[in-house]
């Protein structure tokens, strides 16, 4: 049987630092679990053979509209400007922003769709690059969620609960599987610097919640210091730092010999890991060694540090080095008004790099065991919020249906899963809840979502709470 990960209470006991001798179960070993030697056997075995060893999650924060991206609705376009029939809405709740609107005129997509590849999946003209990798992609048109406002919805998507304080997806992956590289964290977060910052992001979205803090996402930033406090203070050379660590080792060895506390060793091991990160992180963050051909794939903005394109390339470099879970955040999708202009800008920034990431992973043989996910926290309404003009309209938040795509890592290629009604208001076939997506993601990583648990405050918590079903039809 697979050994259960330690519970909260186990950890509390362990961290009282009274483990005897150099017992392999001491916190040192436990902390080291997340930082195994590169290519080494994973400390904790999966529940079954994984299809995806790593995940790159391209989170599109703000709620991208499905109508101008992945879910074509000819009838809605034909009904542009007419009031949304009440029979479609079924009295479901709206946000306080458009809930009092006297009229709810339907808004058809301003942009055309085309079929791509052998699979013939339809993408909007704004996603023509993604269209080129259509045959690698599985589009899910039947996603739904529970929350209707950004903060609760994005918290729900990233942690499986609207309530703040639960561990994030990547933290669960780190806790369950650890890293495959001793010199890099298991869970890394990249935030686009070129995005329109319409809705904020919160550290809770990549936090470890009640899991030990070693599992929290480490944010890689653009610029000289990709990880906080990575750089030695001015005037302190790597050699000086080495001397300091050697001194620390000598001091701690003495402490260990007099206190009989294995925690001392663990602390030293962490300092050594920090030292190695000081070399390994700048190395992996340095895009200058990438070939011109590769850079060209991702588009011109790849040369702007921190852009979505640069982050996509960075994500590839990170998973190549064995990072377990990389999550990108790209804000700016909250188009309550002026949607045509806004979404055109968004896809100009993201379409080519996301497609390039798929191609790049594929050409390096990484796509088969890397799961790539693209999507936001909810979708947008079929009706117009605010003023509708000849070439502009807006859309309010819509949790009842929206679209995402996935690629690689054990997902069927060239598939469209699920269907919405002809107005794109409700799901009519194969609904996929957020918990289902989480269950499927963990399943692909070799984890039974019902068995990856952590006892906290008397309850066994899971990423999927008490729900979640693996979406079997999309598994390759």
Partner 1 sequence: MRSTLLLLLAISAGLQAAESEELVTFNREVRPILSDRCYGCHGPDANKGRKAGLRLDEPEGAQLKLKSGQRAIVPFDLAKSAMAERIQSTDPEEVMPPPELHRPLSAKEKDILLRWIKQGAKYEAHWAFVTPQKAPLPPVKLNTWPRDKLDYFTLSAMEKVALQPNPEAEPVTLLRRVSLALTGLPPTPEEVDAYLADKSPQAYEKKVDALLASPRFGENLAVAWLDLSRYADTYGYTGDGAMFAWPWRDWVLDAMNHNMPYNQFLTEQLAGDLLPQATLSQKVATAYNRLHRLTFEGGSIAEEFRQDGIGDRVVTAGYGFMGLTLECSRCHNHKYDPISQKDYYSLAAMFSDIVENGLLPYHGEVPPPFVRLLKPEQTTEVASLKAKVQQAEQAYQQTLKAAVTSEDRKSSPIKVPAPVAYYPFEELTKTGTPNQVPDSKPATFERHRGDQLGSVELAPGHVGKALSCDGDGGLYLSGMDKFGRYVPMSFSAWIQLGEKNKRATLLHASGFYTNDADASGLELMIIDGKLRWSAIHLWPSVAVSIQTTQALPLKTWVHVTVTYDGSSQASGLHIYLDGKLAPTTVERDALDTPIREATLELASRSRDAGFRGGLIDEVMLWRTALTNAEVALHHGLPLASLTPEVLQEHQLLRDNATVQTAWNQLQTARKALEKVEESAPKFFCMQHADTVLPTYVLTRGQYDQPNLQQRVSPGVPTKVFPWSNQYPSNRLGLAQWLTDPRHPLTARVAVNRYWTQVFGAGIVPTTENFGLQGDAPTHPELLDTLAVEFQESGWNVKAFLKRLVMSATFRQSSVASPKGREIDPANKWLARGPVQRLSAEMVNDQALAAAGLLVEKIGGPSAKEDEHRRGVYLYRRRTVPPDSMLIFDAGSRETCQPRRLTTNTPLQALLLLNEKVFVQASQKLAANLSQKPNLQPEEKITLAFRTVCTRWPRPNELKALTALYQQELQAYQKDPAATAKVAHQKNPEVAALALVCNTILASDAAVTSR
Window 330 to 369, contacts with partner 1 (CB under 8 A): 336-338
Taking the least distance from each CB to partner 1, the nearer of 211 and 312 is 211
Question: How near is the Cβ of 267 to partner 1 at its closest, in Å?
Answer: 5
When binding is defined by CB under 8 A, the residue of 160, 178, 207, 431 that contacts partner 1 is: 207
When binding is defined by CB under 8 A, the residue of 42, 46, 95, 196 that contacts partner 1 is: 95
Judging by DSSP bridges, how do beta strands 137-144 and 432-433 pair with one another? parallel
| Region from 61-69, 209-217, 370-378, 420-428 binding partner 1, contact rule CB under 8 A | 209-217
Contact 427, 375 (CB under 8 A): no
15: tokens are: 């961290």
219: tokens are: 């944010």
Q: Enumerate residues 411-440 that contact partner 1 by CB under 8 A.
A: none
Q: Does 232 bind partner 1 (CB under 8 A)?
A: yes
When binding is defined by CB under 8 A, the residue of 97, 287, 415, 467 that contacts partner 1 is: 97
Judging by DSSP bridges, how do beta strands 187-191 and 370-375 pair with one another? unpaired
Show Cβ contacts of residue 41 under 8 Å, excluding neighbours closer than 6 positions: none
The candidate with the shortest Cα–Cα distance to 9, out of 466, 379, 475, 461, is 461
| Region from 19-27, 65-73, 173-181, 371-379 binding partner 1, contact rule CB under 8 A | 19-27
When binding is defined by CB under 8 A, the residue of 65, 66, 199, 349 that contacts partner 1 is: 199
Question: How near is the Cβ of 135 to partner 1 at its closest, in Å?
Answer: 38
Question: How near is the Cβ of 234 to partner 1 at its closest, in Å?
Answer: 4
| C-alpha to C-alpha distance for 440 and 472, rounded to whole angstroms | 8
| Region from 68-76, 91-99, 136-144, 343-351 binding partner 1, contact rule CB under 8 A | 91-99
Question: How near is the Cβ of 113 to partner 1 at its closest, in Å?
Answer: 25
Residues in the chain: 476
Q: Does 221 bind partner 1 (CB under 8 A)?
A: no
N-term to C-term CA, the chain:
26
Contact 208, 216 (CB under 8 A): yes
Please state at what angle helix 238-259 crosses helix 263-285, rounded to 10 degrees.
Answer: 160
Question: How near is the Cβ of 13 to partner 1 at its closest, in Å?
Answer: 5
Q: Does 409 bind partner 1 (CB under 8 A)?
A: no
| C-alpha to C-alpha distance for 22 and 158, rounded to whole angstroms | 37
Question: How near is the Cβ of 251 to partner 1 at its closest, in Å?
Answer: 5
Angle formed at CA 419 by CA 377 and CA 127, multiple of 5 degrees: 60
Q: Enumerate residues 235-294 that contact partner 1 by CB under 8 A.
A: 235-237, 239-241, 243-244, 246-248, 250-255, 258-261, 263-264, 266-268, 270-271, 273-275, 277-278
When binding is defined by CB under 8 A, the residue of 117, 282, 386, 414 that contacts partner 1 is: 386
Match 């994500």 to its residue by tokens: 315
| C-alpha to C-alpha distance for 168 and 474, rounded to whole angstroms | 24
Question: How near is the Cβ of 141 to partner 1 at its closest, in Å?
Answer: 24
Binding mask 51-70 for partner 1 (x = CB under 8 A): --------------------
Question: How near is the Cβ of 366 to partner 1 at its closest, in Å?
Answer: 26
Total residues in contact with partner 1, by rule CB under 8 A: 108
Give the dihedral sign, CA 290/295/300/301.
Answer: negative
| Region from 48-56, 171-179, 231-239, 307-315 binding partner 1, contact rule CB under 8 A | 231-239
Q: Does 49 bind partner 1 (CB under 8 A)?
A: no
Taking the least distance from each CB to partner 1, the nearer of 203 and 304 is 203
Taking the least distance from each CB to partner 1, the nearer of 132 and 438 is 438
* β-pair partners for 380: 397
Show Cβ contacts of residue 51 under 8 Å, excluding neighbours closer than 6 positions: 369, 371, 409, 410, 444, 445, 446, 475, 476
Taking the least distance from each CB to partner 1, the nearer of 109 and 219 is 219
Contact 381, 98 (CB under 8 A): yes
Question: How near is the Cβ of 180 to partner 1 at its closest, in Å?
Answer: 16
When binding is defined by CB under 8 A, the residue of 3, 20, 87, 223 that contacts partner 1 is: 20
Q: Does 320 bind partner 1 (CB under 8 A)?
A: no
| C-alpha to C-alpha distance for 124 and 104, rounded to whole angstroms | 24
Backbone angles phi, psi at 223, to 5 degrees: 110, -165
Taking the least distance from each CB to partner 1, the nearer of 79 and 294 is 79
Q: Enumerate residues 132-191 that contact partner 1 by CB under 8 A.
A: 148-151, 163-165
277: tokens are: 């990160």
Q: What Cα–Cα distance (Å) separates residue 37 from each residue in 150, 178, 196, 276, 320?
A: 39, 11, 39, 12, 15
């Amino acid at each position: 049987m697979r050994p259960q990960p330690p519970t909260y209470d186990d950890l509390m006991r362990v961290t009282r630092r009274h483990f005897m001798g150099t017992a392999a179960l001491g916190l040192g070993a436990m902390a080291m679990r997340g930082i195994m030697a590169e290519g080494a056997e994973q400390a904790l075995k999966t529940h079954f053979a994984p299809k995806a060893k790593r995940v790159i999650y391209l989170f599109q924060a703000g709620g991208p509209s499905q109508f101008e991206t992945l879910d074509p609705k000819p009838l809605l376009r034909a009904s542009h400007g007419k009031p949304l029939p009440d029979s479609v809405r079924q009295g479901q709740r709206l946000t306080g922003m458009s809930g009092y609107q006297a009229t709810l005129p339907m808004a058809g997509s301003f942009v055309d769709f085309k079929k791509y590849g052998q699979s013939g999946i339809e993408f909007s003209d704004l996603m023509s690059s993604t269209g080129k990798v259509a045959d690698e992609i599985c589009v899910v048109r039947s996603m739904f969620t529970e929350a209707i406002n950004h903060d609760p919805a994005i918290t729900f998507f990233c942690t499986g609960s609207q309530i703040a304080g639960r561990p994030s997806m990547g933290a669960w992956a780190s806790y369950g599987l650890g890293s495959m590289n001793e010199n890099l964290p298991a869970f890394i977060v990249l935030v686009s610097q070129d995005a329109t910052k319409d809705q904020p992001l919160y550290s809770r979205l990549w936090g470890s919640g009640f899991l030990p803090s070693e599992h929290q996402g480490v944010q890689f930033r653009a610029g000289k210091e990709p990880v906080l406090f990575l750089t030695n203070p001015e005037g302190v050379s790597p050699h000086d730092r080495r001397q300091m660590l050697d001194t620390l080792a000598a001091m701690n060895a003495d402490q260990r010999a007099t206190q009989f506390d294995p925690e001392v060793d663990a602390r030293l091991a962490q300092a050594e890991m920090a030292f190695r990160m000081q070399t390994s992180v700048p190395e992996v963050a340095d895009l200058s060694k990438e070939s011109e051909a590769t850079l060209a794939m991702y588009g011109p903005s790849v040369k702007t540090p921190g852009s979505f394109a640069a982050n996509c390339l960075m994500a590839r470099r990170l998973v190549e080095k064995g990072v377990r879970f990389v999550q990108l955040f790209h804000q700016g999708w909250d188009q309550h008004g002026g949607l045509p202009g806004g979404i055109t800008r968004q896809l100009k920034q993201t379409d080519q790099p996301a497609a390039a990431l798929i191609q790049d992973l594929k050409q390096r043989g990484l796509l088969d065991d890397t799961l790539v996910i693209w999507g936001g926290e909810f979708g947008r309404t079929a009706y117009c919020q605010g003023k509708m003009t000849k070439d502009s309209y807006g859309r309010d938040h819509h949790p009842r249906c929206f679209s995402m795509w996935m690629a690689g890592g054990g997902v069927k290629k060239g598939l469209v899963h699920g269907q919405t009604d002809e107005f794109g208001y409700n799901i009519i076939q194969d609904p996929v809840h957020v918990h289902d997506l989480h269950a499927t993601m963990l399943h692909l990583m070799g984890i039974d979502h019902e068995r990856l648990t952590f006892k906290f405050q008397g309850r066994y918590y899971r990423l999927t709470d008490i729900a979640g079903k693996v979406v079997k039809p999309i598994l390759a």
